[in-house]
Amino acid sequence: MENLLASLRQFNFVTLSGPILILLILGMMVLPLPAFLLDMFFTFNIAISVIVLMVSLNVRKPLDFSAFPSVLLVTTLLRLSLNVASSRVILLEGHTGPDAAGQVIEAFAHFLIGGNTAIGIVVFIILTIINFVVITKGAGRIAEVSARFTLDAMPGKQMAIDADLNAGLIGEDEARIRRSTISEEANFFGSMDGASKFVRGDAVAGILIMLINIVGGLIVGVAQHDLPVGEAAHVYTLLTIGDGLVAQIPALIISTAAGIVVSRVGTEKDISEQMVGQLFMQPSVLYMTAGVIGLVGIIPNMPHVAFLLIASGLGGLAYWLEKRKKQQEQQVETDTALEEVMEAPLAEVSWNDVQPVDPVGLEVGYRLIPLVDRSQDGELLRRVRGIRKKIAQEVGFLVPAVHIRDNLEIRPNAYRILLRGVEIGAGEAYIGQFLAINPGRVLGQVPGTPTTDPAFGLPAVWIESSNRDLAQSLGYTVVDASTVVATHISNILQTHSSELLGREEVQALLDHLSKEAPKLVEDLVPKVVSISTLQKVLQNLLSEGMHIRDIRSIIETLSDHVSMTQDIDDLTAVVRVALSRAIVHQLFPGIQELPVMTLDPQLESILLSAVQSKAGGGLEPGLAESLLQSASQEAERVEQQGHNPVLLTPTALRPLLSKFLRRALPQLAVLAHNEIPDNKTIRIIAVVGGRG
């Protein structure tokens, strides 16, 4: 007994399921079946067809349902055997009533066609035509063409597999699997081409069986069971139509499944995902369709409710899809940002993370962006280029480019001027308005917003363009917004030109000079005069408002004196003497008699003693305050007389007084006695430190 149970456990019942099913199908053709078994087998036939359809809808590629040709053959035989068994029962027991062949046939006869034989015949013929002419024929054609193309492509696919194998991209096992797949594809489509003939034959057989049953039932009912002709025709026709529909509907389902399988294009999605994704996931297509259906729906005499309902549904679906797409994109951006934040600490720190500092920068608020936007032909860009050109011509070297960027953290109309990342100037400008600057002698007031000229600190008013002529007639200097910013930048660049002269600018200056005087640069720089020394001397000259256009004289003078002293102030002093004509001409253009300020002799003596005793050190606080106050008063008086304030001092005092007075009185120039050319005379117009 135990051995028998062990044998049963090892026995594979699945192996016998196929032969048993085929034997049962063939047995139904020769053995009479009761009505109950017919109901069970008809229900099983419908269930099998639905299962086949569901599997067909969910396969990813045709080979996933490689058993389909065999399934098609078995289901066709099952339907034919059921037709034979039901025909036998109909002819034998049909005279007893509509339920003679079972409740399934009766239900189809009454429920689907309402007991009307004419309607039943028409419906049966329509279903048969659909199955035979449309679905089966189309599926067979697709299978035939696919089989032909697959066979034609087999050599190329085999060669591709061999090439990948020889290149080492795949192994022997992978190559064997791919070759097997190619053979299976060819066999599958060839089998489907032949199996479609079963369905076509099944449709023809269904029509013939229906005609035979109607004629045979009429003969049997009238001749054997003495039924009236009309009653016999009604009963047997109704049963035959019910039987045909019970068999034809599963046949239609199976044919549909066959068409779906052979028409599939292999992807990683099933047919539902493909159809929905490609038909109903494009908002623009749905919007256009909704518009067309909506236009048709408003045409007179059209079914407005149906068309407008469908149009609104499509429009709503399109709106929902569009909204969901935007949410998904935002989510993706958020996830990407989070991933970057999470991954950022893991990234290696490099020199790319060190941001260089711009020598000169300009930051503008968002309302001033049109002034610096290339796409809008920003006027300030042209003005900045003009400023750099003008400074290069006046000072003698090319200042670095101004790096312009917008800054949303400052006020909309504000701007900032940065020197090596540090703010050294700021102001506001209003596009479309004008700045009316009061030079000190205006004839009246002009309506506007009071402010201060950012470049020179003069009182000013921002006015509308309509008041421009009025302001000019009253004596105001009227400029637009771009001119205000450009003037401020120009003033900053000139004031801080010494800080902008770096090693690279000095080297560029020498490279430019070497084109005109190559021997001079080659012999003296850096052999005699180092670039560092040259840079510091040039910076001293620029800090005192001097230009360095005569770079040749500067280098020659330094080469003559650098062997005697390395002190930058002393070297600057000898260079100033060499440039004395240029210095005086810059301060007093075209004037022979120079109006100058001098120190009171007593104050001069005190200052000389202080310099000598402290070896060039600073001044004591009381003396410094007195000197600054007196110099300020005299400089203002000289300016009121229409002259440039220039203080003439002994050579030993000039460096000290120039550095001391430069911060408080930037307009005051300090000259040494030996810096006055021999062809010039002086006229003292003010004395600093003298008594009233």
- Domain topology for 585-692: Rossmann fold (3.40.50)
Q: Rounded to whole angstroms, how far apart are CA atoms 604 and 497?
A: 31
In the three-class reduction of DSSP (H, G, I as helix; E, B as strand; rest coil), residue 288 is classed as helix
**Of 499, 505, 535, which is closest to residue 424 (Cα–Cα)?**
499
For residue 264, what pLDDT band results from cuts at 50, 70 and 90? Answer: low
Q: Domain 501-578 carries which CATH code?
A: 1.10.8.540
> In terms of DSSP bridges, do strands 681-688 and 593-599 run parallel, antiparallel, or are they unpaired?
parallel
Confidence of residue 691 (pLDDT cuts 50, 70, 90): low
Which contacts of 302-310 are long-range, i.e. CB under 8 A and separated by 24 or more positions? none
**Higher-confidence residue: 355 or 312?**
312
> Same topology for domains 501-578 and 585-692, yes or no?
no
More confident residue, 251 or 193: 251
Residue (of 43, 8, 37) closest to 24 by Cα position: 37
Instruction: Report, as an integer, the average pLDDT of 255-279.
Output: 64
What span, in angstroms and rounded, lies between the C-alpha atoms of 104 and 42?
7
Residue 88 tokens, joined = 């036998």
Q: Which of 191, 93, 100, 211 is nearest to 147 (CA)?
A: 191
Question: Which comes out higher in pLDDT, residue 632 or 92?
Answer: 632
Segment among 28-32, 226-230, 265-269, 584-588 with least mean pLDDT: 265-269
CA angle 383, 387, 390 (to 5 degrees): 135
265, pLDDT greater than 60: no
Q: What is the pLDDT of residue 1?
A: 53
Q: How far apart are CA 24 and CA 320, in angstroms?
A: 54
Structure tokens at 330: 């935002």
Strands 422-428 and 449-452: unpaired
Residues 6+ apart with CB under 8 A from 344: none
Main-chain dihedrals φ then ψ at residue 458, nearest 5 degrees: -80, 150
Residue 267 clears pLDDT 60, i.e. is over it: no
Q: Sheet containing 402-406: which strands, arranged edge to edge?
A: 402-406, 360-364, 414-419, 422-428
> What is the mean predicted confidence (pLDDT) over 227-250?
72
- pLDDT value of position 610: 80
Report DSSP state, residue 589. T
Q: What angle do CA 234, 237, 240 make, to 5 degrees?
A: 145
CA distance 599 to 622: 17
Token digits of residue 557: 């003078």
pLDDT, mean of residues 494-517: 90
Give 151's pLDDT tier (boundaries 50, 70, 90).
low
pLDDT band at 203 (very low <50, low <70, confident <90, very high): low
Which residues does 469 contact at the CB level (< 8 Å), separation at least 6?
A: none
- Tell me the sheet residues that pair with 669: 646
Beta bridge partners of 416: 363, 426
**In the predicted structure, residue 101 carries a pLDDT above the cut 70:** no
CA angle 617, 620, 623 (to 5 degrees): 120
In angstroms, the first-to-last Cα distance of the chain is: 143
Segment 147-161 shows an average pLDDT of 68
| pLDDT given at position 182 | 72
Residues 214/240, Cβ–Cβ less than 8 Å: yes
For the record, the structure tokens of 127 come out as: 């279903």
Residue 99's pLDDT band, with cuts at 50, 70 and 90, is low
| Other beta carbons less than 10 A from residue 537's beta carbon | 25
Please give the Cα distance from 425 to 361 (Å, whole number).
11
Predicted confidence (pLDDT) per residue in 2-59, tens digit: 555 555 455 455 666 667 777 777 776 667 777 777 778 778 877 888 887 888 777 7
Instruction: Give the residue among 5, 203, 212, 249 at the shortest CA–CA distance from 88.
Output: 212
Q: Which of 224-228, 251-255, 396-400 has the highest mean pLDDT?
A: 396-400
Comparing 529 with 89, the larger pLDDT belongs to 529
pLDDT reading at 692 higher than 50: no
Is residue 558 within 8 Å of 534, Cβ to Cβ?
A: yes
Task: Report the pLDDT value the prediction gives residue 97, as an integer from 0 to 100.
Answer: 61
DSSP summary character for residue 598: E
Task: Work out the average pLDDT over 232-258.
Answer: 73
For residue 115, name the pLDDT band (cuts at 50, 70, 90): low
For 562-590, write each residue's pLDDT tens digit: 889 888 989 999 999 999 999 999 899 88
Extents of the domains making up the chain: 37-272, 280-315+322-334, 360-498, 501-578, 585-692
**Mean pLDDT along residues 409-437:** 93
* Cα separation, 376 vs 374, whole angstroms: 5
Locate 371 and state its tokens: 């002034």
Residue 94's pLDDT is 63
- Tell me: pLDDT of 507 over 60: yes
Phi, psi of 514 (to 5 degrees): -65, -20
Query: In Å, what is the CA distance from 465 to each residue of 32, 438, 460, 481?
Result: 109, 17, 15, 11
- Confidence class of residue 176 from pLDDT cuts 50, 70 and 90? confident
**Beta carbons of 131 and 252 less than 8 angstroms apart:** yes
Instruction: Grade residue 309 by pLDDT with cuts at 50, 70 and 90.
Output: confident
pTM attached to this predicted model: 0.51
Predicted confidence at residue 581, as pLDDT, reads: 93
Q: Identify which of 17, 33, 25 has the alpha carbon closest to the alpha carbon of residue 74.
A: 25
Structure tokens at 9: 């456990």
Say whether 171 sits in a helix, a strand or coil: coil
Rounded CA-CA distance 168/181 in Å is 20
Q: Helix or strand or coil: residue 453?
A: coil
* Inter-residue contact 369 to 375 (CB < 8 Å): no
- The residue type at 629: Q
DSSP SS3 for 113: coil
Helix segments in 517-653, DSSP class H: 518-524, 531-543, 551-561, 568-578, 580-587, 601-613, 621-640
CA 486 to chain centre: 35
If phi over 0 gives left and psi between -120 and 50 gives alpha, with beta otherwise, what is residue 669? beta
pLDDT at 548: 92
- Lowest average pLDDT, out of 57-61, 200-204, 665-669, goes to 200-204
452 phi, psi to nearest 5 deg: -130, 135
Q: Which two tokens stand for residue 195?
A: 């199996």
pLDDT band at 479 (very low <50, low <70, confident <90, very high): very high
Better-predicted residue by pLDDT, 255 or 599: 599
Order of strands across the sheet that contains 669-672: 669-672, 646-649, 593-599, 681-688
Helices (H), 11-67: 13-30, 35-58
CATH topology of domain 360-498: Glutaredoxin (3.40.30)
Average pLDDT, the chain: 80
pLDDT bin (cut points 50, 70, 90) of residue 111 is low
pLDDT of 454 reads: 92
Side chain identity at residue 588, one-letter code: F
What number is the average pLDDT over the span 651-672?
89
Q: How far apart are CA 509 and CA 524, in angstroms?
A: 14
pLDDT class for 149, splitting at 50, 70, 90?
Answer: low
Q: Which of 225-234, 364-373, 511-520 has the lowest mean pLDDT?
A: 225-234
